[in-house]
Amino acid sequence: MGHDISPIGNHNLNTKNIELLAKDIVSRIDINIEYGYFGRKEHFKILGEDRGDEFIEIGKITKDKAFKTYTLNDENYMLNQLYDKFGEAIFINSNYWLMNEGELPNKEVIIEEKKGLKYDNYSMDYESENEYDFLTINNEHYSNNIPYYSRWWSFCRFFIEDYYKDKEYLTSLNNFRKELMQLTFKLGGNKMYYLDDQSNILKGVGSGSEYELSWNELTSLLETKTSHLMLDIPKFLKNEEYQEYFLALNEYPLSFIDDYSDLLK
């Protein structure tokens, strides 16, 4: 499987609950939102509800009928419903664990599952015949998979193989960055990291495991694990001395940092 770019930026959205989050997002960007949660029929059955595997719409905000309508999903809503009703007992209910064929998982799996009670984890997507937009929103950061530039290794080669000197390639990169910048700024953030979604060093961070980290914890982790090969994009594009320094390392970047400062001038 190929490696992809995982752009993760900070935000100041209200993630206290899905309704407040939906209202906050719509107040900042021109979209409509239907919001709710996805449930499995087995979990509905535990709650005494006769439903199939389906998305349950809690509410809808229409800002303008001409705008795209995104679906905002609270990934932990069903878990919280079950926990509110049954407490800790839900984790020893074999009917809850759909992938275990009626057997309880080990302690580590249960501990991991319980994290859904503590950390915010929302997804938001829009799908049409020719378009698929997807965001993941956690408490202090979000992952933006709406614009597409390239796979991870091509992204790295742009910098270490001199593609940045080509005006056409540079324009394409900056268009990608501008789209990320505009949404990040609207959501209250000021920078992004670009990560390898299959990084051996980051062990799942960049492919979803970051959901339990605060922005400061994520920043600290990336500094600790990747700072020796973290490429500062605005600095690289504007500072020849820094370019020479990084290229002399003769290594692929492990991460990128981008505050878009070169695009704001």
Residue 194, CA atoms < 13 Å, CB-side half-sphere: 29
**Three-state SS at 179:** helix
Can you give the pLDDT at residue 1?
A: 61
The predicted-structure confidence for 200-244, as pLDDT tens digits, reads as follows 999 899 999 999 999 999 999 999 999 999 999 999 999 999 999
The predicted-structure confidence for 154-189, as pLDDT tens digits, reads as follows 999 999 998 999 999 999 999 999 999 999 999 999
- What order do you get walking across the sheet with 230-232 strand by strand? 54-61, 32-39, 69-74, 121-128, 131-138, 141-144, 5-10, 192-196, 255-258, 230-232
Q: Please indicate, yes or no, whether the overall pTM of this predicted structure exceeds 0.75.
A: yes
The predicted-structure confidence for 108-134, as pLDDT tens digits, reads as follows 999 999 999 999 999 999 999 888 999
Can you give the pLDDT at residue 98?
A: 84
Asked if pLDDT for residue 100 goes beyond 90, the answer is no
Asked if pLDDT for residue 199 goes beyond 70, the answer is yes
Task: Indicate the average pLDDT of the chain.
Answer: 95
The Cα 200–Cα 113 span in angstroms is: 23
| List of long-range contacts for 166-170, beta carbons under 8 Å, 24+ apart | 170/237
